[in-house]
Each structure stands twice: as structure tokens, then as C-alpha cells.
Structure 1
Amino acid sequence: MTNKQDGRDRGSRLDPATVIRTALELLDAKGLDALSTRTVADRLGVRMNTVLWHVKTKARMLELMADAVVGEAPLDDLPDPPLERVRELAHRYRRALLAHRDGATLVVGTYAAEPHTLRFADTLVGALLDGGLDERAAAWTAWTIIYFTLGLTQEEQAAAHQSPNGRLTNTVSETAYPALRRVLGHLDAESFGERFEFGLSAILARR
């Protein structure tokens, strides 16, 4: 009886922010595949319906989690020059994704039109507009940067759970894939930071 009462008391004190914070803790501990509204409820010591009262569905919970991750990319103290501002925002975005296990996969799998995500996008687009791009170019360049960062970071986080070079070294033979074999040394798990800089520079060079 006491345990049930304690659970009700904890449930009455819950709010969406607490649910999302707990869900992010579970994400870091167990990964995205192990995350569910039930595991969040178990961590909080409440019924699953109590969690659903605050986040409605698992999909909605993931959207709010993704927005919280993006919210960890600070938008203050940015450089004044527009191009430097864009670069710094991209770096902060990547760091926010890397700060959580499966962070990029979480964000890729949602379409979170939520405050943190919208503020980040607005700041990025604003920097590109300040840099002289027209509206279409600013919008499409911003999305290119975001999609590139998400894709590379998703690969980087997946590679962290593999042996060095993963299966690529064992699969790419000089006979079957000669071009890939030649560049294999530049595709190791240690080069993600350099690849990010290269790709970002390539995107901005075409602005």
C-alpha cells in the first residue's frame, strides 16, 4: 500500500521536463533501442499511464527529447561575422548531438517543430541571411548543414560501438573495391572531426 501511495505521490509531482530529463538519462545509459515509455516509468517509479499523461505517446516523447538535445547547443556569445557564426553554430550542434548516446539517431528520427529546434534553426538561417544569401539559399544551406551534421554524427556514434575501422577494413579489398581501398586510411574512426570540417567548408564555399 505504501509503495502504491509513493508512486501516486511521485506521479503527482511529475512534469514533462522531469519525464524528458529521465528519458535522456536512460538514453545515455541504455541507448535508443532500449528506450520506451515503460522503461521511463520504471525509472521514475510510476505507472506508464502517468508518463503518458505528460508526453501522450512515445513518438511525442522522442520529439521532446530531440528538442532538448538541440537546446543544449547554446545560442549566446556567437561571433559577429556571419560566416564565423555559421561555423560556430554547426560545431555547437554537433557537440550537442555527441553529448548523448545515439543523439544524432534520436534527432534524425523526429520532426520536432519545438522551441529549441526552431530557435536554433532561426539563428542559423539568420546568420546565413546576414552573410548575404537570399531567402531560398539561406534556407537550403541551413538544411544542408543540419542534414550533413546529423548524418556524419550518426555514423560517428555508430562507429564508436565497432572495432577500429569496423567491418570496412575487412570488407574492402584492393581487387573488389580498388578506389575505396586507396582512400580507406582517410575513412577511419579518428577522422570524423576532420571530415566534419572538410564537409562544412565545402558547403559554405558554395554559398
Structure 2
Amino acid sequence: MTNAQASEARGPRLDPAAVISAALELLDEKGLDALSTRAVADRLGVRMNTVLWHVKTKARMLELMADAVIGEAGLDGLPAPWQDRVRVLARRFRRALLGRRDGAALVVGTHTAEPHTLRFADALVGALLDGGLSERDAAWTTWTIVYFTLGLTQEEQAAAREPLDGRLAREVSGTAHPALHRVLGHLDAESFGERFEFGLSAILAPR
């Protein structure tokens, strides 16, 4: 990096937070597939090396973006009862993912251990421990909730582009797929919220 680029990178108008903010704006406008460090640099009006000065690699940029999305879940005003706390945290997580275009796909593709992510995980594990789960069960139930929420939300965001029920109706045959055909009415694009609550209840059901 030249001295001019280093000066630009260290300048007061650009820092890692500004890079991630611009990247999230691009995510919302164009989707995950169109996201690149060059596109972020163009958005900021700087050289690509300047962006890389702050985020090092595209993979690192995606990690920081995912952490920022999870940070939008918020940890304030959580209820005291442990099961209510778990439900509120899971709902906030889902809402944060849905608040960004391709938010679930972004988070699924990263393995971040950044501040927002760790605080959210700590709150979720803590609620489960308060409910009397063993350390192993609290850890594994946290993963189950996170994976379930990510998977369902990723499907929900994909269905917003091409409704799942329309695709299934074209492909599922009452003759070839009799059981699936019977339940098609319960897999419509309007039922994601209900399916989320159903799955969350199943995860938290007494063993």
C-alpha cells in the first residue's frame, strides 16, 4: 500500500464500521451474490486496497457484517422467566435476519466469534442454564435453535423471491408423492411465522 493509500485508509472519514455499514447497504440493495470488496470500495469512493486495509479479506468483511446483523437482535428488556427469555431471543434473532436482504444466507456462511455474536450466544446459553439444562444440553440446544432459525429464515427469504408453495405445486404429484401432497396447504409462504413458533416449541418441549 502506498503512503497515499495508507493516509486515505487512516483518514477520519473511513473506519471498519463505515466499511461494514456500506457493505450492509449494498447487501440490502443488491443481495449477497453481488457483494464484493470492490463494490464496497466503489460505494465509498475509495480504492479497493483501502477497504482491504480495514477488513483484510472479503471473508473477514462477511464475518463482521454477520456480527453486525446479529447485533441488531438486541439484548435489552429480556423477560426473567428462562423459557420466555429463550423465545424472545430466538424471535429477535429471526427478526434481525429478516431485517437484511439475504441476512440468513450471510450468517450461515460465516463462523464468526465477534462481540455481538458472543454476547447473543451467551444470553441464550445463560437462559437455558437458568432453566436447569445441563451444560451440554444448554450448548447443544443453543445450536439447535440457531440452526433451526437460520435454516427456516433462509428458506423464507428465498421464498420471497420465488414462493415455495408455487414450486411445490408444480412438482408434487398426488400419485407420486401422496403424503407430501396431503400437507401442501401447510407449506405456504404465509406460514413461516407459525412454523417458526411450532419448531421453537418443539425444541423447548420437556424431555
Say whether the fold is shared (TM-score over 0.5): yes
Q: What corresponds to 2:191 in structure 1?
A: 191
Secondary structure of the corresponding residue to residue 73 of structure 1? coil
**Whole-angstrom CA distance in 2 between matches of 1:172 and 1:127:** 41
Secondary structure of the corresponding residue to residue 161 of structure 2? coil
Q: What corresponds to 1:35 in structure 2?
A: 35
Q: Do 2:9 and 2:53's aligned partners in 1 also have CA atoms closer than 8 Å?
A: no
The range that moved more, 163-172 or 16-25, is 163-172
Normalising to structure 2: TM-score of the pair? 0.94
Q: What corresponds to 2:170 in structure 1?
A: 170
Unaligned runs of 5+ in 1: none
Q: What corresponds to 1:84 in structure 2?
A: 84
**Whole-angstrom CA distance in 2 between matches of 1:52 and 1:9:** 9
**Whole-angstrom CA distance in 2 between matches of 1:79 and 1:135:** 21
Secondary structure of the corresponding residue to residue 150 of structure 2? helix
Secondary structure of the corresponding residue to residue 183 of structure 2? helix
CA displacement at 1:43 relative to structure 2: 0.4
1:128 aligns with 2:128: yes
Q: What corresponds to 2:150 in structure 1?
A: 150
Runs of 4+ in 1 over 2 A off after TM superposition: 7-13
**Whole-angstrom CA distance in 2 between matches of 1:94 and 1:156:** 11
Q: Do 1:19 and 1:40's aligned partners in 2 also have CA atoms closer than 8 Å?
A: yes
CA displacement at 1:13 relative to structure 2: 2.5
Normalising to structure 1: TM-score of the pair? 0.94
- RMSD (Å) for aligned C-alpha atoms: 1.8
User: What is the letter of the counterpart of residue 201 of structure 1?
Assistant: S
Q: Do 2:9 and 2:15's aligned partners in 1 also have CA atoms closer than 8 Å?
A: no
Q: Do 2:163 and 2:189's aligned partners in 1 also have CA atoms closer than 8 Å?
A: no
Q: Do 1:10 and 1:46's aligned partners in 2 also have CA atoms closer than 8 Å?
A: no
Q: Do 1:94 and 1:149's aligned partners in 2 also have CA atoms closer than 8 Å?
A: yes
Q: Do 1:67 and 1:112's aligned partners in 2 also have CA atoms closer than 8 Å?
A: yes
Q: What corresponds to 1:21 in structure 2?
A: 21
Q: How many residues align?
A: 203
Unaligned runs of 5+ in 2: none
CA displacement at 1:165 relative to structure 2: 1.8
User: What is the letter of the counterpart of residue 184 of structure 2?
Assistant: L
Q: Do 2:9 and 2:51's aligned partners in 1 also have CA atoms closer than 8 Å?
A: no
CA displacement at 1:166 relative to structure 2: 3.4
Q: What corresponds to 1:96 in structure 2?
A: 96
Q: Percent of pairs identical after alignment? A: 79
Q: Do 1:152 and 1:196's aligned partners in 2 also have CA atoms closer than 8 Å?
A: yes
1:119-157 Cα offsets, whole Å, 9 max, x none, are 000000000000110100000001100000000000000
